């Protein structure tokens, strides 16, 4: 089954979960800008993700062809069971994405694109795919080539992508699930909510984890007051972000031209 069908199935599951186990009961399913974010889901999740994934995989294969065959014949990962390959792919890719996520916040040029994701004032599963197309270019470039060096198969990498998508939906979903002590290993909606905090208390300098929260605890970027949620989501001066997808897509380019 292709990625789009998995994305559609995972999305429908979270639509139901948000109705059954809502964290914020007053938040409506048809919230403001939901159609805007579903547009991002269709474009980023179907067309752009598939296209950039194909290009990145092609470049990775070309890169692998430049290396001696002995590199992959002797590669430890390629000789392991697909489950072990998937676990290694998940750990390595998630740590790489944690670092890329920090770059999106720390590099002013990249932050102009990442602002689109952080302009959401209400959080649900659809916000997971509310991001500028440039982000996928950055992620794919910095992710696929290092993963190609591991010498594993492409099928477990596909399942890791599906799993990461499902967990990204979970992080952004309007659901109340307690992970208990596992919260120090895995990211969760209540922890990730503080990454979208508009104040200086939590905010965009904390909680960069995608699937795993342990990177934030290990490197001192974790912030999680479990007894409460942020007062406001977004970022300071987020009123500068347009409210429709077309203008949001060109906003970073126009913003760069503004003195």
As a whole number of angstroms, the distance between CA 242 and CA 248 comes to: 6
Q: What is the pLDDT of residues 91-112, one digit of tens each?
A: 999 999 999 999 999 999 999 9
As a whole number of angstroms, the distance between CA 115 and CA 234 comes to: 9
Least confident of 37-51, 122-136, 184-198: 37-51
Reference 188, options 211, 205, 204, 219; nearest CA is 211
Reference 196, options 229, 165, 169; nearest CA is 229
Neighbours of 64 (CB within 10 A): 15
Which residue do the tokens 């000789």 mark?
A: 79
As a whole number of angstroms, the distance between CA 2 and CA 158 comes to: 10
Reference 195, options 135, 255, 136, 114; nearest CA is 114
With beta carbons less than 8 A apart as the criterion, state whether 208 and 109 touch: no
With beta carbons less than 8 A apart as the criterion, state whether 139 and 95 touch: no
Sorted by sequence, the CB contacts under 8 Å of residue 62 that are 6+ apart come out as none
Q: Residue 36 phi/psi, 5° resolution?
A: -60, -45
Torsion sign (Cα): 203, 208, 214, 215: negative
Q: Residue 11 phi/psi, 5° resolution?
A: -65, -45
Taking the domains of the chain in order of start, what are their residue ranges? 36-257
Long-range contacts of 49-56 (CB under 8 A, 24+ apart): 49/3, 49/136, 50/2, 50/3, 50/4, 52/136, 52/137, 52/140, 53/3, 53/140, 53/161, 55/140, 56/140, 56/141, 56/143, 56/144
Q: What is the pLDDT of residues 186-236, one digit of tens each?
A: 999 999 999 999 986 555 679 999 999 999 999 999 999 988 889 899 998
Sorted by sequence, the CB contacts under 8 Å of residue 95 that are 6+ apart come out as 212, 215
The DSSP annotation for 134-175 comes to: HHHHHHHHHHHHHHHTT---HHHHHHHHHHHHHHHHHHHSSB
Q: What is the pLDDT of residue 31?
A: 94
Q: What is the pLDDT of residues 77-89, one digit of tens each?
A: 878 899 999 999 9
Q: What is the reported pTM?
A: 0.89
Reference 235, options 194, 207, 176; nearest CA is 194
Which residue do the tokens 């004032």 mark?
A: 121
Least confident of 3-7, 121-125, 174-178: 3-7
């Amino acid at each position: 089954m292709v990625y789009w069908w998995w994305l559609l199935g995972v999305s429908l599951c979270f639509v139901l979960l948000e109705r059954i186990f809502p964290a914020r009961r007053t938040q409506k399913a048809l919230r403001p800008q939901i159609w805007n974010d579903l547009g991002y889901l269709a474009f980023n999740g179907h067309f752009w993700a598939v296209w950039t994934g194909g290009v990145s995989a092609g470049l990775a294969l070309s890169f692998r062809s430049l290396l001696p065959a002995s590199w992959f014949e002797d590669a430890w990962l390629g000789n392991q069971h697909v489950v072990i390959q998937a676990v290694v792919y998940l750990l390595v890719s998630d740590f790489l994405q944690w670092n890329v996520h920090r770059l999106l916040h720390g590099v002013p040029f990249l932050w102009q694109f990442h602002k689109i994701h952080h302009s959401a004032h209400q959080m649900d599963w659809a916000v997971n795919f509310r991001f500028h197309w440039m982000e996928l270019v950055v992620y794919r470039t910095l992710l696929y080539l290092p993963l190609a060096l591991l010498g594993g198969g492409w099928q477990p990498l596909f399942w890791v992508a599906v799993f990461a998508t499902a967990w990204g939906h979970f992080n952004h979903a309007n659901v109340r699930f307690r992970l208990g002590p596992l919260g120090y290993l895995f990211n969760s909606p209540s922890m990730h909510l503080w990454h979208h905090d508009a104040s200086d208390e939590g905010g965009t300098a904390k909680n960069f984890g995608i699937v795993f929260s342990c990177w934030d605890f290990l490197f001192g970027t974790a912030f999680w007051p479990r007894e409460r949620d942020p007062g406001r989501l977004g970022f300071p001066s987020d009123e500068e972000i347009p409210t429709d997808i077309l203008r949001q897509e060109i906003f970073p380019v126009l913003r760069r031209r503004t003195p």
